[in-house]
Amino acid sequence: MQDKLMLMIPGPTPVAESTLLALAKAPIGHRTKEFSAIFADVVTKLKWLHQTTNDVLILSASGTGAMEAGIINFLSKGDRVLVGDNGKFGERWAEVCEAYGLQTERIRAEWGQPLDPEAFRAALEADTAKTIAAVIVTHSETSAGVLNDLATINRSVKAHGRALMMVDAVTSLGATNVPVDEWGLDVVASGSQKAYAIPPGLGFVAVSAKAWEAYKTADLPRYYLDLGKYREDAAKDTTPFTPAVNLIVALQAALAQMQQEGLDNIFARHRRQRNATRAAMKALGLGLLAADTHASDAITAVVPPAGLDAEQIRKALQQKFDIAMAGGQDHLKGKIFRMGHLGFVCDRDVLTAIAALEATLQSLGWTFPAGAGVTAAIGHLNA
């Protein structure tokens, strides 16, 4: 049905009507007091969301652009970096590092498995010469629905002393607790089309004082992604290059809505919806790629058992119920589907998606106790 799309993918996520209307306001000049006031307010709200007093910089770029900026501004050619790789995004950051001539060591796990904090501890402890300049970890690995144990890995990084902790928080920030200052995270990157609940086009990078120290001698080439320029101009409530004005106005509206809900409520909502989704999938006899102990709060990767086809399920959900879920990526293409529960998603949405999934599975001939998925979800949503 026209305009009835329900987005249950890991991004773009649903956008509130008030945010869409803010987006549609006629643009104003970006070199004006009026825009600077909006910009300053947005930065204050971003710091609230990041639980930090560090700089939080706004780029007109996707999350990948933000994460690349977070890496290349604080490192020099030949620097040694440890990159956690247990999915498409971990893999991507290793590729970024290699593109810039960094000495890149991957710490790998299978897609669906979490990164092993012990492997990071061992590598960091063995580095008595302090040659490791950075550790790069994807907090919530979107491709597999895995939440890596950032807190534990980060403790080893802190014990190491030199290495910067760089975090892809693209699908964790605003969904899962990421206390940037409390944990002392040096670089934290995220993107607008995730928990922020605005359309894609903005990337964010939080940068610690320690990272800015490294910036002084970092020698990788950059210009548009040079965060020093953004920092300098942010101090004057402006940006070095024309910002995506309308997206920033929309962001102000979306962040105000998040502040109204409150951080703890936001985290609790994502956790509750994650648990409801997972319980429902199990009750329907579907497999889950990630174990309960390290499941993403933003997205659930579902493994249909033999006899069920992931793409067929997605297609039917889309055609009959106008619900979009994501497919698998790379070697998991066709083998899993992924349900997002991220951003502007209320409990009703999860209930709706599970009910529609039940109807879809039934139409595909899959058998399960009638109402099992919805009942299991309700158990968590009403808890």
Q: Can you give the binding site for a second copy, defined by CB under 8 A?
A: 3, 5, 7, 9, 11-12, 14-15, 20-21, 23-32, 60-65, 68, 72, 95-96, 99-101, 191, 193, 199-201, 220-226, 241-247, 324, 326-327
**Hey, is 167 helix, strand or coil?**
strand
Residue 154 or 172 having the CB closest to a second copy: 172
Name which of 202, 251, 221 is nearest 64 in CA terms.
202
As measured in angstroms, the least distance from the Cβ of 244 to a second copy is 3
Task: State which H helix or E strand residue 72 sits in.
Answer: helix 63-72
Residue 124 or 225 having the CB closest to a second copy: 225
Residue 283 or 353 having the CB closest to a second copy: 353
| Residue 333 in tokens | 């293409």
As measured in angstroms, the least distance from the Cβ of 234 to a second copy is 16
Name which of 189, 224, 179, 227 is nearest 75 in CA terms.
227
The CA distance from 346 to 354, in Å, is 13
Please check whether residue 204 is in contact with residue 56, taking contact to mean a CB–CB distance below 8 angstroms: yes
Residue 84 or 191 having the CB closest to a second copy: 191
Describe the strand order of the beta sheet including 287-288 as a list of residue ranges: 287-288, 299-303, 337-340, 326-327
- Is the link from the previous residue into 27 a cis peptide, with omega within 30 of 0? no
As measured in angstroms, the least distance from the Cβ of 241 to a second copy is 4
Residues in the chain: 383
Residue 61 or 356 having the CB closest to a second copy: 61
As measured in angstroms, the least distance from the Cβ of 111 to a second copy is 18
As measured in angstroms, the least distance from the Cβ of 196 to a second copy is 12
Residue 59 or 150 having the CB closest to a second copy: 59
Q: How distant is the alpha carbon of residue 319 from its chain centre?
A: 28
As measured in angstroms, the least distance from the Cβ of 12 to a second copy is 4
| Residue 268 in tokens | 């609790």
The CA distance from 141 to 86, in Å, is 7
